[in-house]
Amino acid sequence: MKLIKKLILSATGVLLGLGLQVAVAAPSGQPIKVGGTLALTGPLSATALIHKLAGEIYVEQLNKKNGLLGRPVEWILKDDQSKPDLARTLYEQLVTVDKVDLLLGPYATGNILSAVGVAQKYQKVLVHHTMGIPSLVKYDMQFPAWSVGYDPATTVTNTLLDALASTTKFPKTIAIVSSKFPSVYMMSVGMREAAKKRGIKEVLFLEWEFGNKDFGPIASRVKDANPDFIFVGAIGLEGNQLLDAMKKIDYVPPMQYFMYPAPGPLAKAPGAERAMAGSIFEQHPPFTNNPLAAEFVKIFNERATKAGLPDNAVETQAAASYSAWQVIEAAVTATKSLDDKVLAAWLKKNKVDTIQGKLRFDGPSNFGDDLLRVKQVQNGHWVVVWPKEWAAPGAKLLTQ
Amino acid sequence: MNFPSWTLLGQSLLSGIFIGSLYGLLGLGLSLSWGMLRQINLAHFALAFLGAYLTFQLTSVGGMDPLLTLGLIAPAFFAFGVLMQWLFSRFSISPFNSLLVTFGLTVIIESLIQWIWTADYRKMDSVYGEMKFKIGSLYVPLPELLTLIIAVTLSLSTWALLRYTDLGKAMRAAAEDPQIAAAFGVNEKRLALLLSGLAATFAGVAGLCLALSYTLSPSQIYAWIGVVFAAVMIGGLGNPIGPLIAGIVIGVAEAMTMALISPAWAPLVSFSLLILVLLTRADKV
């Protein structure tokens, strides 16, 4: 009996000791510097703010655990003002002056291309989260957490058409209206081809310059063309502007898809009910079945509210940003190294489990699978509706 | 090519008139300060957006009627305009330097807006937002109609003020030749303060119209500069009605280009018109 008691006490002691050790193990030593820029000001700043919050949360969580390799992580973040030329200069600074250990990409295609140039010059690994035109990046040590596959113009548009085919109202006619912003224009051109292959008649194709202010005539032309389905190649605010203009002439298209909308404002806009868009993550099951994702959603919601963001939900942008940090952490932890070549070699051979799903980097330009799903505004909220295995519980694609 | 329907043409024409009136309203204050005070006031656009955000705040959070917000915004902006002119005069800022100084001011105001309201998009919910009426098959949205009415009223009132009142005549005289005007007892400095206050007030009013019709974002400040400058230059510096007429001509031309050709061609319209005007009547600009 005494022996059993001793054993129990010893075991409890060991467990408590271990527990204490885990509890007190804080990162120590020289911080590991992760450098990057975001468009904290300028036309891209509304979205970049989401990436800033996501990054801050990740670094905080990382340092609460054991940092990276037992060392604290410091995120050196600079404002590239939404300017690719400035992003290039700042990444040069990060490498040569701040001497960062690791690089994280900026927000959006143009600035990422600038950062990739610098990373290539100094042979640094660059993990980035929002590269819209995969074929433009050739550097072999850049790794995308924006999981749209190498040829999104084909795969994303076909996923959408598959989703529409699952309903009883597959469109017979389509209007494609598009900003000439490169990453969305590419998708609009892809939709033209995909629609043609599926026998959908194109009744209207329009393009406008990025920064267009008057969407009235565009809305009128869409109404005049009377399509079954509109594919809106809009970025950010443009989707809302077109929706507002359509609402003003009392026109609600039977079905509409927005390529890269400002998700929060669009979901709340009049006339947006049943509008569709792409998404890699929404804050509902099955995505939030992952405990890490659920915790991130909870913290992000709180922080976004505190930061005064009108929409505090975690969706594509925040999830892509979080995933980029997960990619960095996974590679450093697995290799126990900060050597760029070692990290790159590991990433090319291994998949990384992220909150948006498993990412692989062994395809062309290190792009892996296209994980962009179809989401829809239902009762004022975005829910994923396609593919079925990622749909919110009970949700399905609704048509008018 | 199918000929567009009359509804499409009519709706596009209306759309062009409405956005053109906003170009004109934004250009009114700019034209006065450029033509009569010799200041190229880039901060006019930032002030208009500050006015839009204040309208948003007072309406969405404060629960005020958007039109009543002018009761607070107009005097505050007038005071700001007066202060700005006093500083310009105190430090003898030249026309060219005014461009640089007001650009700096624009950046400061943009940062202030972003600091207070974040860079995220803001859309004002107001009673007027979804109001519209129908004439035949054409829709007339109330916010845009209000913008047109305000722009026409302010432009005509300012024109009448400058043309028919002693105050207006003194302002024109001071703008034409300050020394001679002073010899006739015109207090040029005081009138400049008044004119600058008036221009800033017009920016505040334009802000109200922006908030009524558009989703706001701080960086949108810069989206309006090019086309409004074109409207001001085509309309004639210091001319209160010119920017409105030029704005509507540009707006309609852009809208018709969008309706008949392609929206992508629309931005070429304003600058093509500007080049044409500069080539044919440069002395009038």
Give the DSSP per-residue string, A204-271: EEEEE-TT----HHHHHHHHHH--SEEEEEEEEHHHHHHHHHHHHTT---SSEEEEEE-HHHHHHSTT
Cα separation, A318 vs A306, whole angstroms: 16
Partnered with residue A76 across adjacent β-strands are A35
pLDDT of res. B4:
85
Determine the pLDDT at residue B125: 87
Contacts with A, B 130-159, CB within 8 Å: 130, 132, 139, 141, 144
Cβ-contact B217, B122 below 8 angstroms: yes
pLDDT at residue B285 in the model: 59
> Mind spelling out the 3-state secondary structure of B63-131?
CCCHHHHHHHHHHHHHHHHHHHHHHHHHCCCCHHHHHHHHHHHHHHHHHHHHHHHCCCCECCCCCCCCC
The interface predicted TM-score of the complex, written ipTM, equals: 0.89
- Cross-chain Cβ contact A41/B141 below 8 Å: no
Residue B208 is encoded by which pair of tokens? Answer: 């109200």
Q: Which amino acid, A41? A: T
Q: For residue A310, what pLDDT is reported?
A: 81
Report how far apart, in Å, the C-alpha atoms of A277 and of each of A200, A273, A350, A400 are.
Answer: 19, 12, 30, 16
- As a CATH number, domain A152-284+374-390 is 3.40.50.2300
Answer whether B120 sits within 8 Å of A49, measured CB to CB: yes
Q: Hey, is the C-beta of B226 within 8 angstroms of any chain A C-beta?
A: no
CB of B19 less than 8 A from some CB of A: yes
A262 touches chain B (CB under 8 A): yes
> In terms of Cα–Cα distance, which of B44, B43, B13 is closest to B27?
B44
Contacts of A214 in chain B (CB under 8 A): 15-16, 19, 251, 254-255, 258, 266
Task: Judge whether A193 and A249 are in contact, CB under 8 Å.
Answer: no
- B133 min Cα distance to partner chain A (Å): 10
Name every chain A residue with its beta carbon within 8 A of the beta carbon of B119. 40-41, 45-46, 48-49
Looking at chain A from residue 169 to 198, which residues have their Cβ under 8 Å from any Cβ of chain B?
180
- Interface contact flag, B123 A211, Cβ < 8 Å: no
Output the DSSP codes for A86-113.
Answer: HHHHHHHHHHHTS--SEEE--SSHHHHH
Note the pLDDT of residue A18: 44
Q: CB of A269 within 8 Å of any CB in chain B?
A: yes
> If 0-12 CB within 10 Å is exposed, 13-18 middle and 19+ buried, where does residue A164 land?
buried
Q: Is the pLDDT of residue A316 over 80?
A: yes
Measured between CA atoms, how close is B65 to chain A, in angstroms?
20
Query: How close, in Å, is residue B186 to chain A by CA atoms?
Result: 42
Among candidates B162, B119, B211, which has minimal Cα distance to A236? B119
- What is the pLDDT, as a whole number, of residue A9? 47
Task: Choose among A213, A224, A307: nearest Cβ to B223.
Answer: A213
Among A1-10, A22-31, A102-111, A233-242, which range has the highest average pLDDT? A102-111
Q: What is the pLDDT of residue A311?
A: 87
Query: Cα separation of A257 and A239, whole Å?
Result: 10
Q: How many residues does chain A have?
A: 400
Q: Is the pLDDT of residue A2 over 80?
A: no
Nearest to B119 among A49, A214, A217 (CB): A49
Q: What is the mean pLDDT of chain A?
A: 92
User: Quick check: do A32-150+285-372 and A152-284+374-390 share a fold?
Assistant: yes
For B240-268, what is each residue's pLDDT tens digit? 999 999 999 999 999 999 999 999 999 88
Q: Do A217 and B11 touch (CB under 8 A)?
A: yes
Preferred mutation among A224, A258, A312 to probe B, highest tally of B CBs within 10 A: A224
Cβ contact (<8 Å) for B255 and A308?
A: no
Check residue B195 and give its pLDDT.
96
**Which of B119, B259, B267 has its CB closest to that of A45?**
B119
The pLDDT of residue A359 is: 97
| Mutation site, A82, A237, A317, interface B, largest B CB count within 10 A | A237
Q: Please, are residues A242 and A234 in contact by the beta-carbon 8 Å criterion?
A: yes
pLDDT tens across B199-217, in order?
999 999 999 999 999 999 9
CATH architecture of A32-150+285-372: 3-Layer(aba) Sandwich (3.40)
Residue A21 has pLDDT above 70, yes or no: no
Q: How, if at all, do strands A73-79 and A32-38 pair?
A: parallel
With CB atoms and an 8 Å threshold, state whether B263 touches A220. Answer: no
Calpha distance B80→B70 (Å, rounded): 14
**Chain B residues with CB inside 8 Å of A270's CB?**
130
Tell me whether residues A240 and B215 touch, CB distance under 8 A: yes
Q: Which residue has the tokens 């035109």?
A: A133
CB contact under 8 A, A42 and B219: yes
Closest Cβ–Cβ partner in A211, A220, A307 for B11: A220
Residue whose C-alpha is closest to residue A126's, from A147, A144, A100, A110: A144
pLDDT digits (tens, 9 = 90+) for A324-365: 999 999 999 999 999 999 999 999 999 999 999 999 999 999
Beta bridge partners of A73: A32
Please indicate if any CB of chain B lies within 8 Å of the CB of A81: no
Percent of chain A scoring above 70 in pLDDT: 94
What integer pLDDT is reported at residue A17 of this predicted model? 45
Hey, is the C-beta of A311 within 8 angstroms of any chain B C-beta?
yes
Residue in B118, B121, B256 nearest the CB of A237:
B121
> Is B16's CB within 8 Å of A217's CB?
yes
Q: Where are the domains of chain A?
A: 32-150+285-372, 152-284+374-390
Q: Please tell me if residue B215 touches chain A, with a CB cutoff of 8 Å.
A: yes
Contacts of A216 in chain B (CB under 8 A): 11-12, 14-16, 18-19, 255
Q: How far is A377 from chain B (nearest CA, A)?
A: 18
Pick from A174-178, A309-313, A329-333, B62-66: least confident: A309-313
- Work out how many CB contacts closer than 8 A connect A with B: 132
Instruction: Check CB contact under 8 Å for B223 and A48.
Output: no
Give A-chain residues touching B130 at CB under 8 angstroms: 247, 270
Query: Which residue of B130, B224, B259 is in closest CB contact with A220?
Result: B259
**pLDDT (tens place) for every residue of chain B, 285 residues total:** 567 899 999 999 999 999 999 999 999 999 999 999 999 999 999 999 999 999 999 999 899 999 999 999 999 999 999 999 999 999 999 888 999 999 999 999 999 999 999 888 899 988 898 899 999 999 999 999 999 999 999 999 999 999 999 999 999 999 999 889 999 999 999 999 999 999 999 999 999 999 999 999 998 999 999 999 999 999 999 999 999 999 999 999 999 999 999 999 998 887 898 888 888 876 665
